[in-house]
């Protein structure tokens, strides 16, 4: 059974980072004078949906590296006429198949267009198999992190001392002329104020990551191609809220596969955090070190204003990572067998949305069943799509920023390792 909607893939030949939003009167995002595109760019955009045979998309938070990574896509286009061969002078696209053209993947469902990926082409890998009559091209694309990593910065204009981290993110984006209409940046409500920009030579992505870590927030690209920055308070507030329930026993949305892990990969029981120009602040957990041996984390790339701020980061790191339990790292959803609620969840869950996952395992030798239930956050997404199959893989994790939530039966228990009196 195929999934009950169409996937739309569009290729945009225009220059610049903007994905060709037309100006739409009354639209709260695409109808802003002076921000959005007041023109019809349809001639620059080609719908290639019926030529695509496979789509693979991956993005999200790397738990081992403790940061968001660039989202990537590999889109295979069947090419019987050679139109997508960059060397074919007879192609209507000849001379226009350039690096860093824009491509996006969307899934309209339930009256909403869900953008799964928006990014920039880094390679056209053309193949003409000897045993086939049809050639194909694999279009490799990366999200906006690629552009941020290509842009070098030194001093950031207007990046003054005492500035909140969201404002600092906007100043960095201003420096590289990232469009205002492609930002969702938290400002004003962020809890951390920063030093003046250090004025060192680095990439824009490194500067953005420095502000992100100092806030203990989150900076990433969403499926629509927007640069998103969330504050620490936002992440804390999402913990345990309004979970979407998944289960393999009929009590929730069914999943196809689940990945368990029980290891020491995510343990941190020693943290050494140093502000630029400050003194190293060290925190450790003796019981964890005795049990698991030392697992250390150190950084000097912090722009908070005081050593006390650096100490708070070190404390939070150790408090949330000193011990480990069995993890549910990922689950796979098969959209061909899901009902409307399941399909909606497979298309619309976002980073830091809460899930409650129940797995009833094999029967034990004593006649019982091994059951595990975990309340976790979405931290990564991957899609594997063909004309007849659609699989969504969600990577999950305990909250990456710990907090104590009064009234929560998960994060409001005094003395429990999931409940952290965060700063």
Contact 408, 400 (CB under 8 A): no
Beta strand spans in 248-340 (E): 257-261, 270-275, 281-284, 296-302, 327-334
Q: Are residues 113 and 32 in the same domain?
A: yes
Q: Are residues 80 and 214 in the same domain?
A: no
Residue that finishes a domain, picked among 143, 160, 175:
143
What is the pLDDT, as a whole number, of residue 406? 39
Q: Are residues 108 and 18 in the same domain?
A: yes
Q: Are residues 53 and 165 in the same domain?
A: no
Q: Are residues 56 and 99 in the same domain?
A: yes
Give all strands of the β-sheet with 218-221 in edge-to-edge order.
Answer: 183-185, 227-230, 218-221
Burial class (CB in 10 A: 0-12, 13-18, 19+), 376: buried
Judge whether 404 lies within some domain.
no
CATH number reported for the structural domain that contains residue 190 in this entry: 3.55.50.10
First to last CA, the chain: 50
Beta bridge partners of 104: 10, 118
Residue that finishes a domain, picked among 143, 161, 190:
143
What string of pLDDT tens digits covers the 423 residues of the chain? Answer: 589 999 999 999 999 898 865 444 455 555 444 444 444 444 488 999 999 999 999 999 998 888 999 999 999 999 999 999 888 999 999 999 999 999 999 999 999 999 999 999 999 999 887 766 788 999 999 999 999 999 999 999 999 999 999 999 999 999 999 999 999 998 765 668 999 999 999 999 999 999 999 999 999 999 999 999 999 989 988 887 899 999 999 999 999 999 999 999 999 999 999 999 999 999 999 999 999 999 999 999 899 999 999 999 999 999 989 999 999 999 999 999 999 999 999 999 999 999 999 999 866 666 666 889 999 999 999 999 999 999 999 999 998 775 444 344 444 434 444 444 455
Q: Are residues 97 and 219 in the same domain?
A: no
CATH number reported for the structural domain that contains residue 358 in this entry: 2.40.30
> Tokens for 304?
């908070």
Q: Are residues 206 and 345 in the same domain?
A: no
Contact 140, 125 (CB under 8 A): yes
Beta bridge partners of 246: 253, 357
Domain hosting residue 109, numbered range: 8-143
Q: For residue 77, count other CB atoms closer than 10 A to its CB.
A: 20
Judge whether 199 lies within some domain.
yes
Torsion of CA 190, 194, 197, 202, to 10 degrees: -70
Judge whether 303 lies within some domain.
yes
How far apart CA 214 and CA 156 sit, in angstroms, is 17
Judge whether 418 lies within some domain.
no
How far apart CA 263 and CA 292 sit, in angstroms, is 10
Reference 208, options 227, 232, 180; nearest CA is 227
What is the pLDDT, as a whole number, of residue 33? 47
Q: Are residues 248 and 119 in the same domain?
A: no
**% pLDDT > 90, the chain:** 75
Burial class (CB in 10 A: 0-12, 13-18, 19+), 283: buried
The total number of structural domains that make up the chain: 4
What is the pLDDT, as a whole number, of residue 134? 84
Q: Kindly report the pTM of this predicted structure.
A: 0.89
Q: Are residues 162 and 283 in the same domain?
A: no
Phi-psi sector, 16: left (phi>0), alpha (psi -120 to 50), beta: left
Q: Are residues 247 and 370 in the same domain?
A: yes
How far apart CA 189 and CA 337 sit, in angstroms, is 42
How far apart CA 238 and CA 397 sit, in angstroms, is 13
Judge whether 154 lies within some domain.
yes
Residue that finishes a domain, picked among 117, 143, 169:
143
How far apart CA 342 and CA 394 sit, in angstroms, is 13
Judge whether 391 lies within some domain.
yes
Angle at 273 between CA 272 and CA 275, to 5 degrees: 150
What is the pLDDT, as a whole number, of residue 128? 81
Q: Are residues 255 and 361 in the same domain?
A: yes
Judge whether 200 lies within some domain.
yes
Judge whether 411 lies within some domain.
no
Q: Are residues 100 and 15 in the same domain?
A: yes
What is the pLDDT, as a whole number, of residue 413? 39
Contact 11, 101 (CB under 8 A): yes
pLDDT of 355-397, one tens digit each? 999 999 866 666 666 889 999 999 999 999 999 999 999 999 9
């Amino acid at each position: 059974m195929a999934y009950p909607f169409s996937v739309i893939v569009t290729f945009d030949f225009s220059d610049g980072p903007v994905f060709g939003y037309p100006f739409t009167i009354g639209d709260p995002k695409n109808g802003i004078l002076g921000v959005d595109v007041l023109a019809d760019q349809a001639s620059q955009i080609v719908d290639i949906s019926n030529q695509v045979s496979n789509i693979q998309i991956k993005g999200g938070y790397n738990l081992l590296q403790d940061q968001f990574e660039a989202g990537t896509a590999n889109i295979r286009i069947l090419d019987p006429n050679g139109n997508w061969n960059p060397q074919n002078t007879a192609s209507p696209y000849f001379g226009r198949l350039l690096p860093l053209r824009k491509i996006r993947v969307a899934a309209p469902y339930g009256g909403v267009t869900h953008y799964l990926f928006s990014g920039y082409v880094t390679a056209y890998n053309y193949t003409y198999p000897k045993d086939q009559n049809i050639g194909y091209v694999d279009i490799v694309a990366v999200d906006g992190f690629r552009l941020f990593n290509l842009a070098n910065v030194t001093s950031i204009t207007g990046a003054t001392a005492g500035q909140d981290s969201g404002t600092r993110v906007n100043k960095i984006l201003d420096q590289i002329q990232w469009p205002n209409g492609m930002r969702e940046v938290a400002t004003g409500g962020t809890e951390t104020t920063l030093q003046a920009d250090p004025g060192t030579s680095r990439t824009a992505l490194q500067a953005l990551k420095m502000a992100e870590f100092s806030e203990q927030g989150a900076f990433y690209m969403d499926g629509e191609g927007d640069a998103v920055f969330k504050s620490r308070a936002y992440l804390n507030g999402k913990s345990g809220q309004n979970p979407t329930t998944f289960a393999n026993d009929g009590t929730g949305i069914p999943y196809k596969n689940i990945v368990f892990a029980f290891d020491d990969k995510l343990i941190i029981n020693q943290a050494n955090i140093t502000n630029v120009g400050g003194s190293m602040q060290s925190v450790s957990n003796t019981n964890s070190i005795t049990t698991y041996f030392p697992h250390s984390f150190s950084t000097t790339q912090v722009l908070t204003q005081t050593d006390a701020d650096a100490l708070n980061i070190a404390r939070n790191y150790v408090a949330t990572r000193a011990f480990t339990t069995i993890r549910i790292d990922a689950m796979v959803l098969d959209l061909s067998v899901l009902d409307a609620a399941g399909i909606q969840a497979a298309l619309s869950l976002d980073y830091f949305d809460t899930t409650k996952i129940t797995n009833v395992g094999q029967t034990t030798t004593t006649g019982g069943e091994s059951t595990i239930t975990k309340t976790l956050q979405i931290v990564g997404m991957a899609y594997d799509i063909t004309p007849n199959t659609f699989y969504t893989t969600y990577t999950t994790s305990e909250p990456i920023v710990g907090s104590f939530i009064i009234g929560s039966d998960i994060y409001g228990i005094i003395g429990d390792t999931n409940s952290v009196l965060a700063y």
